[in-house]
Structure formats: C-alpha cells, structure tokens
Structure 1
Amino acid sequence: MKSPILSCAIVLTISLGALSAVYAGSATWSANPINGNWNTAANWMPNTVPNGPADTATFATSQRRSITPTEPTEVNSIVFSAGGSAFTIMSGVGAPLTISGIGIVNQSGLTQTFVSPATLSIFFTDVASAGEQTAFTNSGADVSGGLGGLTQFSGTASAGSATFTNFGTSQTGGATGGTTEFLDNSTAAQGTFVNNGGLATIAHAGSTIFRGNATAGTGSFTNNQGVLISFPGEIDFYDNAGADHGTFINHGTIVFFDSSTAANSIFTIGGSDGGGTISFTDTSSAGNANFTLLEDTEIHVQANANLGNAVMTANGATESGFGSSVDLHDSMTADHATLIANGGTLNGQLGLQGIFDFEDDSTAAEATLIINPGTVADAVGGAIGFGSGASAGDSNITVNGAAVTGDLAEGLLTFSGSARDANATAANASITATGGSNGGRGGDIEFLRDALGGTCSIELLGNAQLDLAPDRVHDLTIGSLAGEGRVFLGGHGLIIGSNNLSTTFAGKIFDGQGGSTPPGFLSKIGTGTLELAGAMSYTGGTTVSRGTLLVTNITGSGTGSGPVIVTAGTLGGAGVISGPVTIGSGSGATAFLAPSAGTNRKSTLTMQSSLTFQADGTYTCTFKARNTKARTDRINASGITINSGASINLLGTVQGQLQIGLAFTIISNTSADPIAGTFSNLPDGGIVTINGNNLQASYEGGDGNDLTLTVVP
C-alpha cells in the first residue's frame, strides 16, 4: 500500500507543474481575450502567460488591443505579426514590464505604442531593442512630489528606431516629468526623442538621461519649451556617456556632467520655437560636435570642461529678442575648437549679436576664433571678449570688418582687466583684423583697463584698428604689429616686440581718438625688426631698447612728432623722422644708427630735427664704390652732436682703384651750425684705407658742415 503522504506529494508536484504550464511560456495574445490584463492566462493562446526571460509574447489580430500587466512581467521578446493590429501596451501599477532578450520585433507595418504612466516603468536589459515603428510615451507625475513614467535601457540594450515622447508634469513639489534613461553601454541608436516642457508654472519637464558609457547613437532629439515659467525639456549626460553622432534641436536644456562628451553630434539651439541652453561642467568635452546658436540661446562652459575640436557658431537675432552667447568660465579650455561670433541681422544696439565671453582662468588655447560683422546697416557686429584672468592662449583670431555702415557694425575683440582681479591677456595669440568695405568700419581690437598683450601678434588690414582705452594705468606690451590699419594709443605707450618676430606696419598711429588725449609713445623691444612705413601722428616719442626699428615712410614722419631715443638695438631705414634723435644712453649696451639695416640697398634716413650720438652710440655706414662712382648710406639731420666715445663703423665694398678726389657725403647737416664733435675712431682729417684706397674724413665737407669721405693719394 502506498503511503498517503507520498501520494499527496506526487499529486502536488503534478498540480504545480500544470500550474506552471498555465501561467508561464511563450504565447500569442488571443483574438478575443476576456480583458486587457497581460497576466490573465485565458487571454493567451495557449493559456500560458509570457512571463520569463526565455518567453516570447506574440500579438497578431485582436478585438482588445489595450493591454496592461498587473504584476512584474519579463519577456525575452515581443513580436507583432505581419498583418496584425495596432496595440497599446501600458505598464501597470507595481507591474513594470521588462524586455531582456531580443526585444521588440514589429512585422505588422503599423505603429505599436507603449505607455509608462506616472510612476510606472518599462525596462530594456541585456541586448534588447525597442525595435522599429514603435512609439513610447512617458507621462509626467500626476501628484505633487511624484515620479513620472520611465523607459530605461541597460546593458547593451538599444532604442532601435523607436520614437520616445517624455511629457512634463503639471504638478509641483519636486514632481518629475516622464523620462527615458540609458545606462551602462546602452544606446539610443536611431531613435527619435521628444522632451516636452512643464505643464504648469515651475513644473518640471520630460527628460532623456545618459549614464555610464551609454551613447546617443545617431538618434534625433528635440527639447521643447513648456508653459510660461516652467522648466523646458532636458537632456543630461553623466559619467562617460556620449552624444555620439546624434542630432539635437534644443529649445530647452542640455547638460554634460563628469567626463561625458558631445562627441560628433550636431546641435541646433533656439530659434522661432524659443531659446535654449547647453552647459558643460566638470571635465566634460564638446568633442567634435557642431553647435549652431540661434537667437535667445546660451552655452555655458565651466569648471575643467573643454571644447575639443568642436565648432560653435553664435548667431545674432533674426526676428526679435536677443542674439546668442557662449560663456566660458573657471579653468575651461577652448582646446582646438572653432568659435564663430556672427553679427546681428537687425539694425539695433548691443545684445542682438553673437557673443563669446571668456572669464576667470579660462583659455582659448589653440582654438580658431572668428568674429564677423553685422549684415545690415546699423546692425551690431559679433563680439568675443576676454575678461579678468582669461587668456587667448595660442589661438588664431580673425576680427572682420563690416561691409555695411554703422558705428558698431564691425567685429569686436576686447581684452579687459580689473583693479581687484587678474587681468585678461592676449597671451601668444595671432590676431588679424580685416578692413571694412562699402564705407564699413574695419575690425576692432580693444585693450581695456589693464588688459595684457603678452606676446600676441597683431595684424591690422585695411581700416582695421587697435584701441588702447584711455583709462588704462599701464602701457601695453604686444609681440608684434603688422598691416596698414590704425592704432589709437589712448595716451599710453605701445611696447612692441616681445615675440621677437619681424614685421612691417604701414598704417597710422595716433595719440587717441578725438578730444584732448595725452601724448602716446611707441617702444621697440625684442630681437626682431619693426618697420614703420606709414605717416604717424603720435606725439609722445619713440624708444628702441632692443632689435631693429626701420623707418621707411614716404610722407609725414614715421615716428610721429616726438623724440626718438635708441638706448640699445638699431635705428635704420630710408624714411623721415621729424623729432630729435638720440643714439645711445651715454653708458650701457651699444646703440646703432644704420640706415641700410636689414637690406642690401644703400639708404638715406632723413631727420628733420637734431641728431645726437652718445658715448655708446655707433653710426654703421655702408657704401659701395667703383672708379668714379659711389653709393653710400646717408644721414640727413638738422644739427648734429657727436659726444666723446661715439664711433663709426664703415662697411665699404670698393672695386679697383677709385679716382682721386671722389667724395661722398655720409652725414648731411642741414643746420647752419657745424657738426659738434667727431667719432672717436674717425677724427677730422683721419684716413681710412679700404682695398688700397685712402678715404679722408672731413667734418666740414659738402656745403661746409657735412661729414664726407674723399679719395686721396
């Protein structure tokens, strides 16, 4: 006789097996289910509920097409059969739907809808995909402080080419909007995502969030604004997440945290549907992304974030409101990015253009910066500014002039300082300002307050200009100056040559713009050569302490009306100097006057005032003679003083025997007074022998008071 206990156990085992068969396994939703409950076995054929990691739920045609789980449910895949109906599957209260295997396979040709109401969730895990021609809706919270609906991807799950709409909430008290979230190594793939704004004042919006190593794939993302004074749609990147090759239309908020990156994505911010903001913080990067800022939009870059190789274009207003701006703060770096500030397209004043603003310890690094003018008369040009502590680094900056009229239509580059904080610096930037056309103003470079020039190189083309603010306390040092534009000293000194480059400036230098500006001055430093080829108007004088200053102007004075003092280095050229000239300081390094410095051409340098050689001053005179002809450097000056210790360096090339009596003038004294003093190594009547030819010096030669050399036996 069998044991009654054993018999009961056998019966119980058989019963449990039968129950498992009824309630778990792959199945097809019935054509005539008794209700819309996923977890009712009678609704499936066979009568088993797909609720396991190996199960497949298939949907074909049915009279009931709205379905909701009533307990936590997991399947490997959901298949919508060809020719089937369009279904809506909604996660239930306390009954999240998890898809953990293949994912959704839609063969129906119709859009299949999935809904996560407030607090409810749908999860894609492992390698599951949201499939194609599927639409997901995540609703906002329906109670104060509540949670919105959630669709979440983890593992290596994919959004496929599905569409996701995350709605804002009408509730407050910390209530959240609907959310689509990507974790681990999941991807938005080719999905389409719409994040809508809040539905009431200060209510939160729908959002899409990326964490871990998740990426936006090649998805399309749109953030929309909500009702007035509510939060707009939002996208957040955390950890090492990336925007990949996504396309983003942003009328809301996008934030990159931690080490996340914008990668190779495309961002359009703002426009007719409202403004938007993007923020980079921590050590996040703009990667290789492309950003187009339309009116009423902002990008904020802070902490240790970097712009990578991104392209950012800040545009002016096109309809109403304000232009766009990029604020760069803290220790961020522009890296190798390209930053373009476009001018306004409406006639109006400040605020209607594209603006980049560097502050704190931010740096432009090796970025390319382009500042474009306004495009209509009286529009405002684009602007890039460096505020307290910011640096232009090794960037390349182009400031473009305007092709339209208007006092502010040109591109504008500014460097500013502060009495309390560190001053902005142009550092080692290469800055080119282009000229205007059609009556437009040239590009404008301004050094305000006590901003620093560092070793920057500046080129002013056409009618471009460099301005030093009158309220500066200190003079301005820059690396080099080139071009043919205008410089306004603001009553200060411009010290040129800290980068040791050789350049030519053929423009004009003024004390200032209008009014009674104090005298400004020019100082040459560094080992390079500065050639001044224009007529200058500054009055405070010129100094040379190193390198070479060449004066090659044709009209006016190449050094303004003030004195020229060479304490070290070389003064040369074939131009005209109106102020008195002093070569040497009396003690110290040797200073040179060499008209043909830097060229093989014999040159005549004309001084309309006096010339003085101090004890450490040297006149380097080159000449070339043959038979009855001689070409020589020459100094024309109105009154000449040669102090004890001053010397002359004669560098002559003589071919053959020169004709006795051949004379050439090396200093022409246009004053009626005689030359005061002689060079220490060339006394009056002294003879210099070059290639067998004897040249005798006379300080009473020419018209009676010139320094000449005459061939004697």
Structure 2
Amino acid sequence: MRHSVCAARAKGDGEVNARLAGSLLSSTSLPALLLAGLIVAAVTPITSGVASAEDFAHNSGDWGTAANWTPATVPNGVDAVANFNHDAPDQGLGYTVFLAGGPYTVGTLNLNATSTSGGYRFSSGVLNFEASGQAAINVQTHNFIPDLDASASFNLVSDTVVTVDAGAHFTADGVISGASLTKSGDGLLTLNGANTYTGGTNLYGGTLSLGNNAALGTGPVYANGGTTIDIQNGITINNDLTMYAGMNLNVGLGATGTYAGQISEFSDPTAIVKTGAGTLVLTNSNSFSSGAMIEEGTIRVTADHALGSGPITLDGGTLQAGANLNLPNVSILFGAAGGTIDTNGFDVSTTASMGDNDTPSGTFTKTGAGTLTVDGFAGNNNYATATDVAQGTLKAGLGTNLFSANSAYTIESGATLDLNNFQQTIGSLAGAGTVNAGVGGLLTGGNNGSTVFSGVITGNGGLIKDGTGTFELSGSSPLSGGVVVKAGTLLVSGSLVSAGITVDSGGTLGGGGTVGVLDAFGTVAPGKNAIGTLTVDYSAQFRAGSTYAVELNSAGLSDLIDATGAATIDSGAGLTVSNIGLGSLVAGTRYTVLEAASVSGTFTLVGDPQVSAFISLSTTSDATHAYIDVTQTQTFGSAGLTPNQIATGAGLDSAASSALVSAVLALPSDAAAQAAFDQLSGEVHASAKGMLLQDSHFLQDAVTARLRSAFGDSGKTTSLPVMAYGEDGVQSVAADTDRFAIWSQGFGSWGGTDSDGNAAAFDRSTGGLLVGADGLAGDWRIGVVGGYSRTSFNADDRHSSGDSDNYHLGLYGGTNWGAIAFRTGAAYTWHRISTSRSVALQGFTDGLSADYDAATAQAFGELAYKTDAGPFAFEPFANLAYVNLHTDGFAESGGAAALTSGSSSSDATFTTLGVRASTDITIGGVAATARGMFGWRHAYGEVTPLSTVAFAGGDDFTIAGAPIARDAMLVEAGFDVQLARNATLGLSYAGQFGPDAFDNGFKANLGISF
C-alpha cells in the first residue's frame, strides 16, 4: 500500500501530528499511528531489504545495459537499489545516464560519487520510484552537482524522500510526477521543472530552490523550522504553505519571487524569516500569527493579511506596499539594523504598536510616494530607533501622541510629517521637509538631542520645544499657532513671523531670524554662539525673572533685539553680559541692545557690574532704546599698592591705546593688576645701577691690598704674584720689593639683595682679573691698574635677567708716614649691559630686551695706623670712596610693553671703618701667615637706585631698584702657606652682610719665585 503523507513530526511527549492527502491526522499514541501504517515520511529514508544493490560502474551509458552495472544486472523493480559511486572526471560536464529504454523502477537511488566539477546527469527517459515503504533519493555527493535534465522525468510512485547532505546539491530540470516529495538533509535541492506530483511537499531541512511556477506540483507545502524556500527570479508559487516552528523565505539579489499561496502555521509558531537581497511578493491573505522578520531585501505585500497578524520585525530589510493596505499586525519592531517601510505610491495604515526589538542603533526609514498612517492609542509607539521620513508622508492617525516620543525624526526634503490636526510628540526634529501641524501641535526635543530643521512647519497649530538640547529652525515657516520654548534652546535663524513665541522660565530663545510677538519669562539670547540680531515683528515683553543674555565684541557691536512694536521691560527683568572680550572695552562706549517703536522700563544688570578691576557696566533706556554703558571706574595707578606699582600704573594711564592697555583693563582684580605692574615696571634696569655702584669695591680692594703688600703692612697678602725686573730679567719677587713690579689679582663673588617690599630680590655673580704695575717715586709707590670682569644678574620674580661686560682702568698710590699708612686711587670702568625680560598677562605676552652702555668713575682713599702686639700686627683703618655712575639712554626691543629711558647719572659715597690683623705661625714645620679683617661700611645719601622710563606715547615714570645696603659688616679671613722656599699658596674669603643683602667672595693665589 502506498501513502501520500507529506509531513510527520514526533513531539517530545510522544504525540505525532501527520497530514495525509491534505487532511490533518492527530493522535496521542505514536505506536498506534505506526501500526496503522500512516507515518511513512521520516527524515531518514527507509528502504526494503529484499532487493540487492547494483552499482553503476561505467562512465556515461544506458541504464538498461547490464554491462554498465556491477553485478551485471539492471536494477529495475520495487525496492531496487541503484548506486552511483564512480567519481566523475573534472571535466565540467560529468557523466550522462540514459533512461531511454525504460521506464525503470527503483526504491532507492544513492548518489555518492565525489568530484570537483561535473556529475551524473539523468537524461532521455523516465525513472520510477517505488518501494514497500518510502522511496529514497540520497545525495551524499560533495563538490559536484548531479541533476535530472529536462529530457528525463522522475515518477514518484511511492512517497519519496530526497535527502541532500550538507554541502551537496541536486538539481531537477525535468518533470517530477506522482506522490509526495519530502526534502531532508541540510543541502540544496533545486526544482526547475513544471512538476505535476500531487502528494505535496515536505521540508525537513536545508534549502529548496524553486525555478518554476509549478516546481512544487499541485499539493500543499509543509515546512519544518530551520528550512529555507528559495524563490528564483520571476517565479510565482501558488501552493499553500504550512509552517511548523517557522522557516526562511529567500529571494536572491536582483530577483523578484512571488508566493501567492496561503501561508499558515501548524503548531509551535515561530516567525517566518525573509533572507536574500531580492524581493519576495506575498499576494494572499495569510493566517499565520507567528509574525515575520525581514532581515534582508524586501517583502512586497498586496493584501492586508499577507504577513498574517503577528509582529513584523524589520532588521535590515524592507516592507513594501503593493497596494493600499491596512496592516492588522499586532506590532512592528525594529532590530539593531533598523529597517524600511516603502509605501511605493500607495496608502498604508497600521494600528500596530511600534517598538524596539534590540538596542536601537539603526534607523526606521519611510520611503516611497504615498502615506504611512500610524494609528492606535496614545503612547502606542515608543521605539527609540531613529526615524527618517525620506519620501512621501508619515501621518498620525486619529489621536494624540501616536508618534514615538523617544525617536529622533528626520524629515527629508520633499517628505512630510503630518500631525493630522492632533497633538503629537517626537524625540527631536531635523531635516528639510514639511511638518503639517494643521490645528494640532508638535512637542519635540524630549530626547535632549540638538538638531537643525531647515524645512517648513505649516498650519494653525502650535510648537513646543522641550528637553535640554538645541533646536534650530533655519527655514521660513508660516506656522500661525503659538510657539512655547519650555526647556533647552530654540534658535530661529529663519522666520516664524506668524507665530507668537512664549519663552518659559527654563527655556532660551536665540538666533538671528524673525519671530512674531515675544513674551519672555526665560532667556532671550540673539545670535548663534555669536553676536546677532533677533527681529520681533510686533511687540516684545520681558517679564520679571526673565533674562536678556547679551554678547559684546571688540568692534563695539552687541546683540540686538529689533522690535517693530512696543517693548515692555518689567521690573526684575535681568540682563547678563558674556563673551565680552574685556580687553577691547573702551570707557565711554554705549551698546544698543534693544530697539523698538517704544521702550518702557530698564533691564537690571545681573551679577557684579564691575567686570574687571577697571571696567564697570550699567544699563539704561530711552524712549526707543535700551543700552549698556561702559565706564572705567579707576585709573591704573590707583590700583597699585607699592611705589613701583603705582608709578607703573600711572605711566600706563598716560600711554597710547594698545593691546597692553586693553589687556590690563581686562584684569579681574587689583591684585592681578599689581602683579602685572610688577612685570611691566622694568625694575631690572634700576637694580642693575645699584649693582654697578656697589661692585666698584672690587677694584678698590685689589689696589688697597697691593699697596699694603708693597709696604709690608699688616693684613698683607704675601702670596700675591709680583714680578720685577732684576739683573737676570723679569722674575718673581717679594711683594714689598723696591723694584718696579707687576702684579695680578683674580676675584670672584656672588651675592644678592632681598626684596624690600617694593623691588624684587636681586641676585648677581661676578668674576674677573686685574693686572697692575707700580714702582717707587721717593717715599711713594705709584701704579696703574687695568682689567676685565663679567657680571650676571637676575630678578626672578620680575622674569628679568642680564649681564654686564666691565672694562677697568685706574691709577693708585700710597706712602707711609711712620706708623701711618696712606693709600689712594682713582678708576674708570666701562660697562656694556644687556637685559632681557618677559611679560605674561591674561591675553597678552611680550618678550623684551635692551643693550646699552654705562660708565663708573670713582676716587678712594684710606688712612691706616700700624701697630704690633707681640706676634700680632694690627692696622686700624678708615676708608672713603666716592662713585659716580652714568647710564646711557635705551629703547627696549619688543611689543607694547617695551620701555624707553633717557641717559641718567647717579652716585654713592661709602665709608669703611675697620681693623686688619696678621700673624706668622708654623703648621707642622711649615711657615704660614694668618690674616683677617673686620669692618663696617656705611653708604651715604640715597641708597635706592632709580630708573626713569616710559611706555610708548606715555609720560615718564620712575622705578626703584633693589637698594644698596646702607650699613654692612665686612669680614675677611685668609692665610698664606709657605709650600717651598720659592712657593707660597694664599687662600682668602671676603664677605659683606647687611640687613637684607649679602656678598661672598673667594680668592686663591699661588706665588712662585724664580
């Protein structure tokens, strides 16, 4: 007995459902069905064990030739088995098996050969499939495609299972007739013939590709979960389809395939999945409720129920209308890839709820001419996937809030968002299309995004801006209803001239466009992050608590509200100023910020009107304007604290307008101004003068030491190198030689002066060499001295430094009158000074340098009284020195902070009282001399050096430098060691210590006699 069972599936609980000749059979007893002989379609083919298997052992040939088979018997009969195991050559065409002598009958056909191309082709005849149970075609071949060509046919006398293993492919171009066909296995079965089999088609795995409208015969189709039906281009399938646990419908790229049969579901409903980049057309009203997932390509529907009643999931694919539709589906969901609804020139409506099926990252796109109407109930659609109305119209149904309040909407040019005269809410609005409000209203901005809409909003309805983002309207919209800025910012850079605008307390209105009546409870800020003019084509009112946010610039321009009607400023309406560029504000400037047919009231300036240490703002109004006035509240000089700061500020007050003046005007506080004046003062030039006056003592000390040595007085330096001309020429001699002598003295010192609260601390280091020559003239020793030294100095707190190259020349002489010694001299020093300093203020920097000359002239004298006390020699002394410094004028190189100065002279007088002592000692058998000095130096007159300078275009002002110590303690200590008969090493230290100053110097001398 042969049966036409198309599908059978055993459930996990033992229940079996089967369909026989188009009728559904159901039983809870699997054994009962087996005993009744009803379950004959199974995934694994069943063959009779009666017939033996015959192997086709040749290449191409006739089925009916016994010699082509091993053993040499032609398989032909019920349950006969035919095996094709012979590998086909890699020639592309494979082998051909001719059926012309038939028809032939087999129960099982096994195709097991392997090849990289080609395969067995059945041609020119009929092959019947008949078995005691089910007939079977088993395709285990990989790498080549066996097929049934158009000249041959298969007749399914018995229900036949075609098993195509994974990776294998069988193509049937010829006609298949007879009973049912069951597709099993994960491979591909292609049916291209106009098949006439009537028993139906069962899918248990893999892919069934259909290349003919009648490929599935005349019976129904049953598809198990995980299977795929692939419809080739131009093919229309009319067979009814029943799904079990869902399936895939595939149409390849560039192809359009139609499934016109009715699609239903058997049990365990799972969504039908559309794959492939082509278009699947569904024309029937289908009853499945499991839904559809469109992952690739397009599904075109021409009937309301074409996709059943379940959810539609768009995850990369397109749902396209082929007629006017009213979709009954319960929901439309968007996957991570989003999807498209193409109205395709038709009108489509749906009451489906629209939501996200995954984390929203894609876009829902509405394309095609025609209208998509979303209906249902308020809040029905809550998806966060972005919405792009690219073409046609997206329309709300009959109700409020039918659009998604969570989605960012983009309305492309030529497309329309139609509110249908109801209040609708969307996440945000962008694009260049049209929003038709009708008499409804649009609430946008709740997703806190920032967008630009350059399109048109029409109708008599309203617009509400919500959320923290910025919404810019750059087009001209004839919307005539009210506009409310509830939160965030609304920028009008186009026109809303027909709409009155209310700015709530949490909202901001900006832009440089035109609006209608303005009623501000919140903030109005013309322009878009820049100065701009907002035009009000009627009246404007600023309520108490509102804020007018104004920006000013360096050109004297400001934001402006230009109203054609009356402007009313209620008491308590505030005005703020930002983006000022304070350095550019000029005292006396008036900014016009409101212009109207009439103005009543005055804005209250919010915040501290003192916007810098020197600039203050104020508000005022007249009959048709509101203003901001700029006033300088104090001079630069009045902000100073120290004499130098006050003097520098006064000098800057008289200077020409410059970037420097603007930068100082912008400084936020007196303290900041004082720090700026310290940098600008040029104090280093004054401090350098004091340094040169004070360092004049190095030459004095060297000459005095030479004269003491020459006369053998106490405190003498025995190791001072002295050369004299004798009988054998120039030779090293004792310091107190009677002959003409040449000597030299190296010196080095570092010191500094602490800040006195006006001038900054000043440090310097110096080093040099002096060379002298002298001889006896009666009781006098007369000589000449010259040399070079270099001094480096800095005032770190003033970002200033410099150096001086010094060239020395002088005369000296001395004599003794008994125990009284007299020493005197005069010298002249040329100085070549270089300075550099930097200025860094908020909004201003400058690098400055100067090179100029100076000269020091000095005269000095000393009286000393020599006395001995045992092994000690003492010498009380009194020293007097006068020093005069002349400094040339200079002009600093740099920018607006550069200073100029004329030539100047300054002087100082120093007296020193002290005592020197020395004694000869022996250390470990080595002769040595220990010596020392202690004294007090006093400076007379003005000890603070001054420098008179000026800024470009300004008056002179005088700056004080680091002062010379008026009183200082002097200390010297040294010793000379007789290293050998003709060699003496001398080491000495000299220091000066004042209340806020110090100086340390060391000398080392090695004297060798020849």
The structure 2 residue matched to 1:432, chosen from 367, 380, 388, is 388
Equivalent residue number for residue 111 of structure 1: 124
Equivalent residue number for residue 179 of structure 2: 178
| 1:432-477 Cα distance to aligned partner (Å, 9 max, x none) | 345xxxxxxx62221112322222233333332211123x4xx211
Whether 1:448 aligns to 2:448 is: no
- The aligned amino acid for 1:634 is L
How far residue 529 of structure 1 moved from its aligned partner, in angstroms, is: 0.9
How far residue 387 of structure 1 moved from its aligned partner, in angstroms, is: 2.4
How far residue 417 of structure 1 moved from its aligned partner, in angstroms, is: 1.6
SS at structure 1 position matched to 2:387:
strand
- The aligned amino acid for 2:420 is A
Separation in 2, partners of 1:305, 1:313: 10
How far residue 224 of structure 1 moved from its aligned partner, in angstroms, is: 3.0
The structure 1 residue matched to 2:212, chosen from 197, 222, 226, is 222
- The aligned amino acid for 2:276 is A
| 1:664-707 Cα distance to aligned partner (Å, 9 max, x none) | 11122322xx423642748xxx964446223332122xxx3422
Separation in 1, partners of 2:278, 2:602: 70
Whether 1:542 aligns to 2:499 is: no
| 1:380-425 Cα distance to aligned partner (Å, 9 max, x none) | x155554232347745344456xxxxxxxx243321225xxx7652
- The aligned amino acid for 1:388 is A
Equivalent residue number for residue 210 of structure 1: 203
Whether 1:97 aligns to 2:107 is: yes
Separation in 2, partners of 1:431, 1:456: 6
- The aligned amino acid for 2:552 is F
Equivalent residue number for residue 533 of structure 1: 474
* 8 Å CA contact retained: 1:363, 1:391: yes
Separation in 1, partners of 2:200, 2:546: 75
* 8 Å CA contact retained: 1:225, 1:252: no
* 8 Å CA contact retained: 1:385, 1:415: yes
* 8 Å CA contact retained: 1:399, 1:411: no
The structure 2 residue matched to 1:86, chosen from 90, 97, 100, is 100
Separation in 2, partners of 1:329, 1:428: 23
* 8 Å CA contact retained: 2:418, 2:435: yes
Separation in 1, partners of 2:619, 2:432: 41
Whether 1:634 aligns to 2:560 is: yes
Separation in 2, partners of 1:566, 1:510: 23
Counterpart mapping for 1:596-635 below 5 A: 596=527, 598-599=528-529, 601-625=530-554, 629-635=555-561
Equivalent residue number for residue 708 of structure 1: 627
How far residue 552 of structure 1 moved from its aligned partner, in angstroms, is: 1.2
Whether 1:187 aligns to 2:201 is: no
How far residue 640 of structure 1 moved from its aligned partner, in angstroms, is: 3.3
Structure 1 residues 118 and 324 mapped into 2: Cα distance closer, same or farther (>3 Å)?
farther
Separation in 2, partners of 1:108, 1:610: 89
Equivalent residue number for residue 375 of structure 2: 416
| 1:250-303 Cα distance to aligned partner (Å, 9 max, x none) | 3214555315334685796667xx945667893355363244245956788742
- The aligned amino acid for 1:242 is T
Separation in 2, partners of 1:340, 1:155: 33
* 8 Å CA contact retained: 2:109, 2:136: yes
The structure 2 residue matched to 1:314, chosen from 266, 281, 300, is 300
Separation in 2, partners of 1:294, 1:578: 52
Separation in 2, partners of 1:83, 1:310: 40
Counterpart mapping for 1:623-702 below 5 A: 623-625=552-554, 629-637=555-563, 638-654=565-581, 656=583, 658-671=585-598, 674-676=599-601, 678-679=603-604, 681=606, 688-690=610-612, 692-700=614-622
Equivalent residue number for residue 236 of structure 1: 222
Counterpart mapping for 1:296-445 below 5 A: 296=283, 302-303=289-290, 305-307=292-294, 309-312=295-298, 314=300, 327=307, 329-334=309-314, 336-339=315-318, 341=320, 351=324, 357=327, 359-367=329-337, 369-370=339-340, 381-382=345-346, 385-391=349-355, 394=360, 395-400=362-367, 410-418=369-377, 424-425=380-381, 427-434=383-390, 443-445=392-394
SS at structure 2 position matched to 1:458:
strand
Separation in 1, partners of 2:532, 2:613: 23
The structure 1 residue matched to 2:511, chosen from 565, 573, 588, is 573
Equivalent residue number for residue 465 of structure 2: 524
Whether 1:257 aligns to 2:244 is: yes
TM-score, normalised to structure 1, is 0.65
* 8 Å CA contact retained: 1:270, 1:296: no
Structure 1 residues 710 and 56 mapped into 2: Cα distance closer, same or farther (>3 Å)?
closer
* 8 Å CA contact retained: 1:138, 1:180: no
How far residue 123 of structure 1 moved from its aligned partner, in angstroms, is: 1.7
* 8 Å CA contact retained: 1:266, 1:291: yes
Structure 1 residues 192 and 306 mapped into 2: Cα distance closer, same or farther (>3 Å)?
same
Structure 1 residues 667 and 301 mapped into 2: Cα distance closer, same or farther (>3 Å)?
farther
Equivalent residue number for residue 26 of structure 1: none
Separation in 1, partners of 2:556, 2:603: 23
Structure 1 residues 328 and 698 mapped into 2: Cα distance closer, same or farther (>3 Å)?
farther
* 8 Å CA contact retained: 1:51, 1:75: no
| 1:68-126 Cα distance to aligned partner (Å, 9 max, x none) | 635x44455599998966144466xxxx8134674999979743422358998522358
Tell me the percent identity. Answer: 21
Separation in 1, partners of 2:343, 2:98: 59
TM-score, normalised to structure 2, is 0.47
* 8 Å CA contact retained: 1:446, 1:468: yes
How far residue 367 of structure 1 moved from its aligned partner, in angstroms, is: 4.7
Name whichever structure is richer in helix by fraction.
2
* 8 Å CA contact retained: 1:194, 1:224: yes
Separation in 2, partners of 1:359, 1:332: 7
Counterpart mapping for 1:452-531 below 5 A: 452-470=403-421, 472=422, 475-511=423-459, 519-531=460-472
How far residue 621 of structure 1 moved from its aligned partner, in angstroms, is: 1.0
* 8 Å CA contact retained: 1:233, 1:252: no
Q: Which structure has the larger Rg over C-alpha atoms?
A: 2
Separation in 1, partners of 2:250, 2:375: 33
Structure 1 residues 433 and 132 mapped into 2: Cα distance closer, same or farther (>3 Å)?
closer
- The aligned amino acid for 2:203 is F
Separation in 1, partners of 2:424, 2:499: 20
How far residue 364 of structure 1 moved from its aligned partner, in angstroms, is: 3.1
| 1:632-671 Cα distance to aligned partner (Å, 9 max, x none) | 1112233334444432221152454755432111122322
Q: RMSD between aligned alpha carbons?
A: 4.5
How far residue 570 of structure 1 moved from its aligned partner, in angstroms, is: 1.1
How far residue 509 of structure 1 moved from its aligned partner, in angstroms, is: 1.5
Separation in 2, partners of 1:85, 1:503: 72
- The aligned amino acid for 1:711 is V
Separation in 1, partners of 2:223, 2:254: 14
* 8 Å CA contact retained: 1:301, 1:328: yes
Whether 1:69 aligns to 2:70 is: no
How far residue 522 of structure 1 moved from its aligned partner, in angstroms, is: 0.2
Separation in 2, partners of 1:575, 1:108: 77
Name whichever structure is richer in strand by fraction.
2
How far residue 494 of structure 1 moved from its aligned partner, in angstroms, is: 0.2
